[in-house]
């Protein structure tokens, strides 16, 4: 009986050990900065592409700035979404956001993904199979040992792709993760 806990602990480590080194490095990196392109392909809206920049750091800190419009900022406890076109902002507890949108964990805290997905390596990619119905399946890829692409199909059936370019593994300035509401911002409840 004494061997059972040790055996279970060793078994629990096996899936993580089977993942590529670049995936493990995501959990250890002090931060990351990159340009991105988000592409969406749907039967209703056709093909759309939006560009921007993102910065992330340990502790759930995130900044996603689209070239035209939307801004997402997390200080590690709150996630703020700001839309300059409508001058509206909303706050959401980061823990709640991760529960509602588990794929956000890829950028905020990859270690949390194991709660919502089973992870496996296939041809150098990490495949995330959802544990609960209704969550999207995703594939995560790297190029030159760094996160480069995430693909998934969202709840509307649209194929989504987030491609990173010019990835730098370095912690962004702390000010990147603070949101200063512009004058005239209207706060809305999510």
Q: Which residues, in sequence order, are CB contacts of 58 under 8 Å at separation 6+?
A: 29, 30, 31, 171
Calculate mean pLDDT across residues 149-159.
Answer: 91
User: Residue 1 has what pLDDT?
Assistant: 39
pTM equals: 0.83
The 3-state DSSP class for residue 179 equals coil
Calculate mean pLDDT across residues 101-130.
Answer: 91
Residues present in the chain in total? 190
Beta strands, E only, 27-183 = 31-42, 46-57, 61-66, 71-75, 78-83, 88-93, 117-122, 125-130, 138-143, 146-153, 159-168
List pLDDT tens digits, range 65-106: 999 899 999 999 999 999 999 999 999 999 999 888 888 999
User: Residue 45 has what pLDDT?
Assistant: 86
Q: Mean pLDDT of all residues in the chain?
A: 87
Find tokens 């649209």 and name the residue.
Answer: 158
């Amino acid at each position: 009986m004494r061997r059972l806990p040790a055996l279970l602990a060793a078994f629990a480590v096996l899936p993580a050990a089977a993942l590529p080194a670049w995936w493990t490095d995501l959990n250890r990196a002090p931060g990351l900065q990159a340009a991105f392109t988000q592409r969406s392909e749907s039967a209703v809206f056709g093909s759309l592409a939006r560009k921007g920049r993102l910065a992330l750091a340990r502790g759930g800190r995130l900044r996603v700035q689209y070239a035209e419009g939307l801004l997402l900022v997390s200080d590690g406890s709150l996630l703020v979404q700001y839309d300059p076109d409508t001058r509206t902002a909303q706050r959401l507890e980061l823990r709640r956001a991760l529960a509602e949108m588990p794929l956000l964990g890829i950028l905020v805290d990859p270690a949390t993904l194991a709660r919502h997905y089973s992870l496996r390596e296939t041809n150098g990619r990490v495949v995330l199979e959802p544990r609960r119905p209704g969550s999207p399946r995703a594939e995560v890829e790297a190029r030159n040992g760094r996160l480069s692409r995430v693909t998934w199909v969202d709840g509307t059936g649209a194929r989504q792709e987030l491609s990173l370019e010019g990835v730098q593994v370095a912690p962004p300035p702390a000010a990147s993760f603070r949101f200063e509401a512009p004058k005239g911002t209207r706060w809305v409840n999510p």
